[in-house]
Structure 1
């Protein structure tokens, strides 16, 4: 059900990109350009999603020689998750966070900040890595990167459209033809907003599944629950930088969500995630047998 919901939301996001292109250019040409732009954006995200996300947070590759304990931990979790060993990256930030990216398990990367490595104990860090590799196993990393890229393209087109509204308005006043200014204004305001809502909805559909996957891999859901609680408390102290469009990739929202409605949340509430993980403890025999 979650997979179907995710595909439906991605389709809706692509349709929104096509629509704003139609408003921007107009006519059949605008429709064609929108379809081509959606196709190119999705294809580009498919092949370059890992580089885009890693560059957004200035992540640097790590070798086994540079961080033997961390590398061994990631390798162990990957073996238990039954996926290939991902590339390991370090984000030069005191913020405590992590993310995974890549179009499939064979082209995946997991990135951890300096802050999260210093903050968490080994079993907590193992839970975080297992959560991220669950995203890789489920191919959530590609889905989220595509959504972020399309949403970014929509926001860029809307911003460009807003700059051109003045000239469009003067042209319309001269010959009383052209796009309706009110329609353009609504598109400029509502398209990025709708894109953001859809992108965040996609993100929220995947987090509980990744938490459950981590519990299945480590057999220690309480460790991830402790990690999430510590990350939540640390997030407001040292927020991570980078492009906000890629916030859904992170293990936890770097901005406190108390003032955000559930509609605009990148993740389910940390409290709900913790409660769900603690409930999974009683199901460990069932999780082990699956």
Structure 2
């Protein structure tokens, strides 16, 4: 039985708490949060400080579900203590924060859609991808933009908060080539927070590969979807489908639910330092390239006003 500590008891932390208590082979021994939004499961102790919780419980696994301001520090401290760590995206907004640290090899990013049907084999096979297209259509209401999500400096934008699952998957499959150009536009019509309602971007890399993004969180008449299309070197196309990639390469009608994907992610976490790791696990050091691409898109983006003109 692996002892698990959960750091963070907000909206996302509550999802982890429920999933962990329903996963065989793990024991949720404690929750750490100075101001919990959601009460921990019955019988699970709540501590205010994650530092105290790490010392008290000496967990085998730590799940970090806190905003970027504390996520990286908590994850690295847990990893230095010997735990396998799963940390919620975006972890940090600054790519420079992910300069190599020895403990980062024990930290993985919580991208549960990467455990969708067929994706482990795709990541293991690594076909030659020449073009990748990420599409996000969903709707976030005003209530979503509260507390730490209100400001870009603490939450980032649509690419950090929403489209990062597909972006990270695409960049794992594209060759690791430097960026040569980027064109992007951001739309802010509702102005419920500093984040945008929509962003489109085309990123070209030195080897000629291209990544395109069309992500919006103000959709009203389109079904929710977060999908990735891969154009392979041999002319074939691979489609990763779902409301949030969860159908993978399979049939959307039989896609696994969020609980099943989270449980697969927990089970894949390594015990000790033994490898190789499950292909769908996303090591923290790989996140730096994703954040660099996101940062580049926002730094070069033009703002589009309500009248549709770029500024």
The two structures share one fold, judged by TM-score above 0.5: no
Question: Which structure has the bigger radius of gyration?
Answer: 1
Normalising by structure 1, we get a TM-score of 0.24
Q: State the structure with bigger RCO (CA 8 A, min sep 6), 1 or 2.
A: 1
Structure with higher helix content: 1
Structure (1/2) with the larger strand percentage? 2
Q: What TM-score do the two structures reach when normalised by structure 2?
A: 0.23
